[in-house]
Structure 1
Amino acid sequence: MLSLEEHQGTCPYCGEPITVLLDLSQGTHSYVEDCQVCCRPISISVTEEEDGSLSVSLHDENSTF
């Protein structure tokens, strides 16, 4: 069963607030999604913490994380 959740973030390129849809059933994962405002590719990392919570980070394509 898919478990989806919206996450509010900020585009690392244009600085505009954006909403990304996360698939919570995947645990720790990374993927690329284009910004809805400036259309540049954002690297999105979702990390499942030991307590089961998720942390989300958004980076430009040239960042190392």
Structure 2
Amino acid sequence: MSFACPWCGEHNELPLDPGEFGQQVVMDCAVCCRPIEIDLPADGEGQPAIRGEGQ
């Protein structure tokens, strides 16, 4: 899955693991290194909610 960083706007890649559906994942932006929270949908359908930590 590709998405834009909420902090700097650069594109990042998140490999989707079906075991993570319904959970929140935190990863650092590959460019600006700021934390990004990603809420994955429980059923694997739809778009994940992406936000900067503390936003």
State the TM bucket, normalised to the shorter chain.
0.7 to 0.9
Instruction: State the partner residue of 1:17.
Output: 11
Question: Percent of aligned positions with the same letter in both sequences?
Answer: 35
| Matched length | 55
SS in 1 for 2:48: strand
Gaps of 5+ in 1: 1-6
Instruction: State the partner residue of 2:34.
Output: 40
Q: Which runs of 4+ in 1 moved over 6 A?
A: none
Instruction: State the partner residue of 1:4.
Output: none
- Superposed CA offset, 1:28-52 (max 9, x none): 1102100001000000110124xx5
Gaps of 5+ in 2: none
When Rg is computed on C-alpha atoms for both structures, the one with the higher figure is 1
